[in-house]
């Protein structure tokens, strides 16, 4: 699971959100490079007023996000090659990230909670 990381962020208008992507593709010193790659993709998810962004220490930090489990499943199903194939795998995944691929959005927590409330109100009406 160390190869999968969470990145949480706050949009000034939309609130809290997160993405899941491959970790350990960039040197730990270059974690900022991974954040820069993710920042470029965030507008595709409706993030236009980024207030903060940070790499999570653990996936547990974003496990309460709306579509966390659905997005995590994508990565769990993907093979990670080791031994002499690992470096090639890392290069391929790093290039995919730089192209904005394999960065999966878990949704905005506020938006999701509002939808649940609307659904509950419809059921109770």
User: pLDDT digits over 2-11, tens only?
Assistant: 689 999 999 9
Q: In the numeric block, which tokens belong to residue 116? A: 């649940």
What residue segments make up the domains of the chain, in order of their start?
A: 4-124
Contact indicator for 45, 13 with CB cutoff of 8 Å: no
Q: Does residue 27 have a pLDDT over 70?
A: no
Partners of 55 in the β-ladder:
7
Region 92-105: what's the mean pLDDT?
92
Q: In the numeric block, which tokens belong to residue 16? A: 């809290």
* More confident call, 74 vs 121: 74
C-alpha 67 chain-centroid distance? 10
């Amino acid at each position: 699971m160390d190869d999968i990381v969470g990145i949480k962020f706050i949009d000034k208008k939309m609130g809290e959100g997160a993405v899941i992507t491959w970790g350990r593709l960039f040197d730990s010193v270059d974690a900022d490079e991974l954040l820069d790659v993710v920042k470029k993709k965030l507008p595709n998810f409706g993030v236009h007023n980024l207030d903060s962004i940070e790499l999570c220490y653990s996936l547990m930090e974003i496990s309460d996000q709306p579509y966390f489990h659905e997005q995590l499943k994508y990565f769990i199903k993907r093979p990670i090659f080791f031994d002499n194939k690992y470096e090639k795998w890392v290069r391929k995944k790093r290039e995919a990230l730089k192209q904005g691929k394999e960065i999966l959005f878990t949704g905005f927590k506020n938006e999701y909670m509002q939808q649940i409330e609307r659904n509950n109100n419809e059921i109770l009406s």
